[in-house]
Amino acid sequence: MKRFNIPVEKLPAKGLLMAYFRDSLIFEPYEVKEGRLVSENSYRLEKELPKEGHFFNENREYRYIVREARGDVIELLLTEEEEKRMEPDLLFFDEGIVREEFSSQAGLPKRLRIINRYEYSENDTLVLKNYRISL
């Protein structure tokens, strides 16, 4: 797989990042300054690409997932604007509790909002199409 760099131009200018590595998880505030991702662990993100990354704020999430077996990367940009155009009955809002090891750190929330996006299949079965993480 060719080298994938996190496209900072697609990220919300400021928010939280969740990055899954083989051996750990990074969950921290970040911001984009002068075209660079700035966070406590930005040096690691420059050296090692996480297997999955979520960069989000209240109304936007950029997500990527590395699929090693296929040698490619799935990229998604999910926005609150899209949800405003969706059928309200197909949106389900949920809250996830942030683990205390993270929520006890300054600047990190105790809960995250999850916006589940459903759709009907050809067989009129309700299926989860996607989700967006929000503050």
User: Over the chain, what HEC string results?
Assistant: CCCCCCCHHHCCCEEEEEEECCCCEEEEEEEEECCEEEECCHHHHHHCCCCEEEEECCCEEEEEEEECCCCEEEEEEEEHHHHHCCCHHHEEEEEEECCHHHHCCCCCCCEEEEEEEEEECCCCCEEEEEEEEEC
pTM attached to this predicted model: 0.90
So where are the chain's domains?
8-134
> How confident is the prediction along the chain (135 residues), in pLDDT tens digits per residue?
556 688 899 999 999 999 999 899 999 999 999 999 999 998 888 888 899 999 999 999 999 999 988 989 999 999 999 999 999 999 999 999 999 988 888 889 999 999 999 999 999 999 999 999 999
